[in-house]
Chain A
Amino acid sequence: AQSVTQLGSHVSVSEGALVLLRCNYSSSVPPYLFWYVQYPNQGLQLLLKYTSAATLVKGINGFEAEFKKSETSFHLTKPSAHMSDAAEYFCAVSAINTGTASKLTFGTGTRLQVTL
Chain B
Amino acid sequence: DGGITQSPKYLFRKEGQNVTLSCEQNLNHDAMYWYRQDPGQGLRLIYYSQIVNDFQKGDIAEGYSVSREKKESFPLTVTSAQKNPTAFYLCASSIYGGGGSRETQYFGPGTRLLVL
Contact A101 B48, CB 8 Å, known A34-B104, A42-B110, A43-B107: yes
Chain B: residues with Cβ within 8 Å of the partner, total of 33
B109 touches A42 (CB 8 A): yes
A-facing residues in B55-107 (Cβ within 8 Å): 58, 88, 90, 92, 94, 96, 98-107
Complex formed: what's the CA distance from A90 to B104 in Å? 14
B107 touches A104 (CB 8 A): no
Report chain B residues within 8 Å CB of A97: 100-101
B27 touches A (CB below 8 Å): no
B22 touches A (CB below 8 Å): no
B45 touches A (CB below 8 Å): yes
User: Residue A102 contacts which of B6, B105, B110 (CB distance < 8 angstroms)?
Assistant: B105
Complex formed: what's the CA distance from A102 to B97 in Å? 11
- Residue in A closest to B91 when the chains form the complex, CB atoms: A43
Closest chain-A Cβ to B110's Cβ sits at a distance in Å of 5
A43 touches B48 (CB 8 A): no
Name the residue among B40, B50, B104, B108 with the largest chain A CB count within 10 angstroms. B104
Complex formed: what's the CA distance from A36 to B100 in Å? 19
B42 touches A109 (CB 8 A): yes
Complex formed: what's the CA distance from A42 to B105 in Å? 15
Closest chain-B Cβ to A89's Cβ sits at a distance in Å of 11
Closest chain-B Cβ to A32's Cβ sits at a distance in Å of 5
A49 touches B (CB below 8 Å): yes
Report chain B residues within 8 Å CB of A42: 109-110
B43 touches A102 (CB 8 A): no
Report chain A residues within 8 Å CB of B104: 34, 46, 49, 102
Closest chain-A Cβ to B76's Cβ sits at a distance in Å of 15
A55 touches B (CB below 8 Å): no
A102 touches B94 (CB 8 A): yes
- Residue in A closest to B107 when the chains form the complex, CB atoms: A43
A108 touches B40 (CB 8 A): yes
User: Residue B96 contacts which of A44, A101, A104 (CB distance < 8 angstroms)?
Assistant: A101
Name the residue among A49, A99, A101 with the largest chain B CB count within 10 angstroms. A101
Taking A44-B43, A103-B45 as given, write out 8 further A-B residue pairs in contact, using a Cβ cutoff of 8 Å, ordered by the A residue number: A9-B40, A42-B109, A43-B108, A95-B101, A101-B30, A102-B104, A107-B42, A108-B41
